[in-house]
């Protein structure tokens, strides 16, 4: 029973990996799901630093990016010299590259904790990003390093030309890496990482060097970031210098934080949501604004992230609890959705006026056609937001009392 409950999340993960490409079989969705695969590895590796050891890094993409570059170069060398290394093993090269760079840079960075560590990681990130622009031979300058995943040794007839084969490759690595990283949390070092996060001073007084603990965690995180970068290189078949910069470093922080740093599943949820949101960029030019708003809301109201929100419901996860909570949530959802729609109208209409005014002021949103610059439009949007917000607020006490009802009899 206990072993089964523990295996259940993993089994459902494997099942999802196998079933989803048959449900969403279009090229675009396979591609997005592939992105999510190495995004999960990257975010989980970041959480070894943030959630497990309490290190806020602003430069984790350095190891992801360098893993990617080394993998691209390695692929080109393997293809050029006809080395007998099949593609499925190549991400390991990315991992080793991540580890090799994380060791010296990490030794310096982890000498300090807290704010000083964050600053050093930012500095190292900027340093590597600057090098990426200067060392054109290695980083390929503006054009980056191109490679081809199909020109290496093929085994079992898998050419890795079709995206679906790459999808399976990515998820095989994703499951292995996630399993290893989970196992790491269950080791003596993994547990001492938590101790360092909670109280570094006391950890020194039970025999552990906090520098060494942080350093080892940093190296392990660097290794898995490198694997993720290697898979990204295989997926895109190109690596550009931007990948080591502040952008991806910030993105992995957002992914991990929005997903929730306190639970192992958190970064997985974050990677899924954020990669999905990235594909919003096809629908709206203001997608980064939505991302920023989501991040601010999470920091303010749900610092435990998505996983925190989910696991908060554990004491109410029974029939009695659901019977109490579901009606309250449904009632709150009506003005909540109205408010959400109001904000979407506000953002999209503003975006249209500010960015796309050259296309004319006539615009379409959610099946409605209207003038973006008409006073009536703005008055209606304002009214929608104000009315739904006030209604939404009035549902809060109701939700709160439903909450205390839902967890009451189970608590004692």
Residues that bind other proteins (CB under 8 A): 183-184, 186-192, 194-195, 197-199, 201-210, 212-213, 216, 220
Instruction: Give 374's contacts (C-beta < 8 A, 6+ positions apart).
Output: 361
Long-range contacts of 81-89 (CB under 8 A, 24+ apart): 82/153, 83/152, 83/153, 84/153, 85/152, 85/153, 86/152, 86/153, 86/154, 86/155, 87/149, 87/152, 87/153, 87/154, 87/158, 87/160, 87/169, 87/234, 88/155, 88/169, 88/172
Indicate the residue among 137 and 207 with the shorter CB distance to other proteins: 207
Q: Give me the least distance between CB of 54 and other proteins, in Å please.
A: 10
Residue in this structure with the two tokens 């310096």, named with its chain if needed: 108
Indicate the residue among 193 and 244 with the shorter CB distance to other proteins: 193
Paired with 369 in beta bridges are 364
Indicate the residue among 147 and 210 with the shorter CB distance to other proteins: 210
Q: Give me the least distance between CB of 207 and other proteins, in Å please.
A: 3
- Contact at 8 Å (CB) between 366 and 280? no
- The pair phi, psi for residue 147, each rounded to 5°, is -150, 175
Q: Give me the least distance between CB of 194 and other proteins, in Å please.
A: 6
Q: Give me the least distance between CB of 26 and other proteins, in Å please.
A: 41
Indicate the residue among 129 and 220 with the shorter CB distance to other proteins: 220
Q: Give me the least distance between CB of 199 and other proteins, in Å please.
A: 5
Indicate the residue among 195 and 344 with the shorter CB distance to other proteins: 195
Indicate the residue among 60 and 197 with the shorter CB distance to other proteins: 197
Q: Give me the least distance between CB of 116 and other proteins, in Å please.
A: 18
């Amino acid at each position: 029973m206990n072993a089964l409950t523990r295996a259940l999340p993993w089994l459902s993960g494997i099942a999802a990996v196998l079933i989803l490409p048959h449900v969403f079989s279009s090229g675009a969705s396979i591609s997005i799901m592939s992105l999510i695969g190495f995004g999960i590895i990257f975010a989980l590796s970041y959480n070894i630093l943030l959630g497990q050891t309490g290190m806020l890094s602003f430069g984790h993409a350095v190891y992801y990016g360098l893993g990617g570059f080394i993998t691209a170069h390695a692929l080109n060398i393997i293809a050029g010299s006809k080395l007998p290394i099949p593609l499925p093993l190549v991400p390991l090269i990315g991992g080793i590259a991540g580890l090799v760079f994380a060791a010296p840079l990490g030794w310096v960075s982890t000498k300090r904790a807290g704010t000083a560590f964050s600053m050093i990681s930012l500095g190292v990130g900027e340093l590597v990003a600057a090098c990426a622009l200067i060392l054109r031979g290695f980083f390929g300058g503006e054009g980056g390093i191109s490679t081809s995943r199909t020109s290496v040794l093929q085994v079992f007839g898998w050419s890795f030309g079709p995206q679906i084969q790459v999808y399976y490759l990515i998820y095989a690595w994703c499951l292995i890496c996630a399993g290893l990283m989970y196992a790491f949390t269950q080791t003596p070092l993994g547990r001492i990482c938590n101790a360092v996060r909670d109280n570094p001073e006391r950890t020194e007084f039970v025999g552990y060097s906090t520098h060494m603990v942080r350093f080892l965690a940093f190296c392990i995180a660097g290794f898995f970031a490198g694997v993720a970068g290697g898979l990204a290189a295989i997926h895109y078949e190109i690596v550009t210098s931007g990948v080591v910069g502040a952008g991806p470093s910030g993105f992995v922080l957002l992914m991990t934080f929005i997903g929730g740093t306190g639970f192992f599943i958190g970064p997985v949820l974050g990677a899924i949501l954020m990669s999905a949101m990235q594909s919003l960029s096809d629908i709206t030019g203001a997608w980064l604004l939505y991302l920023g708003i989501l991040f601010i809301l999470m920091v303010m109201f749900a610092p435990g992230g998505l996983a925190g929100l989910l696991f908060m419901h554990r004491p109410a996860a029974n029939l009695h609890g659901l019977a109490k909570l579901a009606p309250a949530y449904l009632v709150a959802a009506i003005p909540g959705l109205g408010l959400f729609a109001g904000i979407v109208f506000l953002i999209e209409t503003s975006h249209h006026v500010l960015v796309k005014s050259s296309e004319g002021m006539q615009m379409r949103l959610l099946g409605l056609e209207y003038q973006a610059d008409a006073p009536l439009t703005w008055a209606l949007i304002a009214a929608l937001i104000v009315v739904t917000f006030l209604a939404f607020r009035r549902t809060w006490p109701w939700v709160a009392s439903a909450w205390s009802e839902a967890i009451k009899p189970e608590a004692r």
